Amino acid sequence: MRVFFSVLLICVLPSIASADDTVPAEIDYLLRSIGSSDCTFIRNGKRYDSRSAEDHLRMKYRRGKRYAPTSEKFIERLASKSSISKKLYYVECDGIEKMPSGDWLMKRLGDYRAGSLDEQE
């Protein structure tokens, strides 16, 4: 029985470690995606350019990394609303209606995971 569990651990641990390694890469992709977009980000009713939005979310991630063990939790807990006012963040891009930043980021994450790295949004 011990041998079975040992073999199981040897097989499972590398996949767990590699899954954990993907989170920082995915979050970095999301942050770079924000900064390189031509979108306007609306935070607490004020409009910010994409570079400022990236800088702000990088700061929130640096300070609150412990609240973002997954990319989805990063989006939900740090990148979707103000931690102070609780107001949703919004994204406004040419040709796309204003939408909550969480929706925009979840779409980007899905595209990233699917291997579709279209930077046009």
Q: Is residue 81 a part of any domain in this protein?
A: yes
* Global model pTM greater than 0.95: no
Q: Is residue 117 a part of any domain in this protein?
A: no
Q: Is residue 57 a part of any domain in this protein?
A: yes
Cα four-point dihedral sign 77, 82, 88, 91? negative
Q: Is residue 42 a part of any domain in this protein?
A: yes
Distance CA 28, CA 108 (A): 12
Q: Is residue 9 a part of any domain in this protein?
A: no
Three-class DSSP category at 43? strand
pLDDT tens-digit readout, 47-105? 999 999 999 999 999 999 999 999 999 999 999 999 999 999 999 998 788 999 999 99
Q: Is residue 3 a part of any domain in this protein?
A: no
Distance CA 76, CA 51 (A): 20
Q: Model confidence at 120, in pLDDT bands (50, 70, 90)?
A: very low
Domain that includes residue 26, residue range: 21-111
Q: Say how many domains are in the chain.
A: 1
Q: Is residue 31 a part of any domain in this protein?
A: yes
Q: Is residue 16 a part of any domain in this protein?
A: no
Cα four-point dihedral sign 35, 78, 101, 73? positive
Cα four-point dihedral sign 103, 108, 112, 116? positive
**Residue spans of alpha helices (H) in 37-115:** 50-64, 71-77, 101-114
